[in-house]
Structure 1
Amino acid sequence: MSYPDDEDDAALFRSAIGEVTPMRPVEPPPVGKPKPKPRARMKELDESEALGEFARLLRSSTPLEAGDNASYRRDNLPPRMFQRLKRGQYSVQDELDLHGASAAQAENLLRQFLLEARAHEHGCVRIIHGKGLQSDGGAPVLKNLVDRMLRQRNDVLAFHSAPPTQGGTGAVLVLLANR
């Protein structure tokens, strides 16, 4: 229903707001070089610090050679359990092969592998790092990386180079703590 005394809506609006000043035209921003793509600087910093930490650990202790046994036992682990690990008497529940990986790749793979092993409640795992015979005249990189990383983890109770039938000094058996 319309009322005869109602005015046109547009005219009513114009009379309510009064006179209007038009806006000045906005100039587009000057065309120049595009902004650089964002970089993951914190990730790059973390990776460089991690590699620096690994290099520092290698310098602070004598690195393992190709034929050396990698061995470590926490004080709270009974010696008898460690002897069983050294003999390969625990059932290996999962395995990680690091052959062909760079140090950075191996570090990431090892961290992820141990997280998954812990999530699946594995008690013993095997990590194959190789003997390092292909290393450029220096110490075996992956073998030393695995040795240093495993020593720093709270969920690792002990590790020892595998018996000859399970990879010898090119692999390590790791005994993991229960949750």
Structure 2
Amino acid sequence: MTTPAPKHRSTAIKSLQDLRPLKQELATRQRLAQEREAALARERAAALREARLFEHTVGPVQALAVSARVLHRPEPPAPLPLQREADEKQAWLQALSDDFDVDSLLETDDTLSYRRPEISEETLRKLRRGHWTRQAQLDLHGMRRDQAREALGHFIQAATRQGLRCVRVVHGKGLGSPGRQPVLKSKVQRWLVQKEEVLAFVQAQASEGGAGALVVLLQLPPGRSTGAPQAAP
């Protein structure tokens, strides 16, 4: 007859069987933790190798002392010549007088013209015949007196700086003005005579505006060739 096992022994065996899954789960967690730690270690090592790639390539390096570093301040932008531009504008307004007596300096033979004393009649005839190409043009239509005076001063100065020899200034015939009188025509003549850069001017040919425009011959700036472009035959 078999003797039955004591009750406390079978309870202990059952408790050990219940702990086996728990021990397996703990082992699995430990293994995963070790794998994660190993993966992090490999990532840190790879990052360190990449950060020291230059040092591994060229050999040992030594960092510069921070005290020897020089910080260069960015250069400030160049100042705008506002005062110079204002002075030039005021000089133009003061230099070009509306009261300048120009009638005695104009020649009114066949067409209106003007020339400085050192400019010959032959040069004036060449200018009238279109010997020099018109290299630039200024149209003063629709401008008030002060606007036209300033625009003309800028135009003559810029043309001289560029070395232009012959330009055209359109002042209009006054067909749209009160009394159908050209408002700017006589003023433009006065202003041009006062400009040192102007050697001569003549009334434009009919195809270029006739009595509503002037063809102006300019002196060349110092150092420029005295030759002037000629119109195509």
| Fold match by TM threshold 0.5 | yes
* 1:69–1:105 distance in 2 versus 1, CA, 3 Å: farther
Asked whether 1:135 is paired with 2:181, we answer no
Alpha-carbon distance, 1:166 to partner: 1.1
Whether the aligned pair in 1 keeps the contact of 2:97 and 2:190 (CA below 8 Å) is no
Comparing 95-104 with 129-138, greater Cα deviation is found at 129-138
Distance in 1, matches of 2:100 and 2:176, equals: 21
Q: TM-score, normalised by structure 2?
A: 0.49
Distance in 1, matches of 2:97 and 2:191, equals: 11
Whether the aligned pair in 2 keeps the contact of 1:158 and 1:175 (CA below 8 Å) is yes
Name the structure 2 match of 1:163.
205
Whether the aligned pair in 2 keeps the contact of 1:88 and 1:162 (CA below 8 Å) is no
Alignment RMSD, CA only? Answer: 3.0
* 1:137–1:57 distance in 2 versus 1, CA, 3 Å: farther
Asked whether 1:114 is paired with 2:139, we answer no
Name the structure 2 match of 1:92.
134
| CA displacement, residues 131-156 of structure 1 (integer Å, 9 cap, x when unaligned) | 11222227422111110001111110
Asked whether 1:154 is paired with 2:196, we answer yes
Alpha-carbon distance, 1:129 to partner: 0.7
Name the structure 1 match of 2:65.
none
* 1:80–1:69 distance in 2 versus 1, CA, 3 Å: closer
| Structure 1 or 2: more helix by fraction | 2
Distance in 2, matches of 1:93 and 1:53, equals: 27
Distance in 2, matches of 1:97 and 1:118, equals: 18
| CA displacement, residues 1-34 of structure 1 (integer Å, 9 cap, x when unaligned) | xxxxxxxxxxxxxxxxxxxxxxxxxxxxxxxxxx
Moved over 4 A (4+): none
AA aligned opposite 1:125: V
Alpha-carbon distance, 1:88 to partner: 2.2
Whether the aligned pair in 2 keeps the contact of 1:162 and 1:168 (CA below 8 Å) is yes
Whether the aligned pair in 2 keeps the contact of 1:70 and 1:172 (CA below 8 Å) is no
Whether the aligned pair in 1 keeps the contact of 2:116 and 2:199 (CA below 8 Å) is yes
Asked whether 1:78 is paired with 2:120, we answer yes
Relative contact order higher in (CA < 8 Å, ≥ 6 apart): 1
* 1:100–1:115 distance in 2 versus 1, CA, 3 Å: same
AA aligned opposite 1:151: V
| CA displacement, residues 40-83 of structure 1 (integer Å, 9 cap, x when unaligned) | xx99xx69x85x941x347x859x9xxx9441011101211110
Whether the aligned pair in 2 keeps the contact of 1:155 and 1:177 (CA below 8 Å) is yes
Whether the aligned pair in 1 keeps the contact of 2:137 and 2:168 (CA below 8 Å) is yes
* Unmatched runs of 5 consecutive residues or more in structure 1: 1-41
Distance in 2, matches of 1:53 and 1:156, equals: 15
Distance in 1, matches of 2:190 and 2:135, equals: 22
Distance in 1, matches of 2:120 and 2:192, equals: 18
AA aligned opposite 1:173: V
Secondary structure at the aligned position of 1:137 is classed as: helix
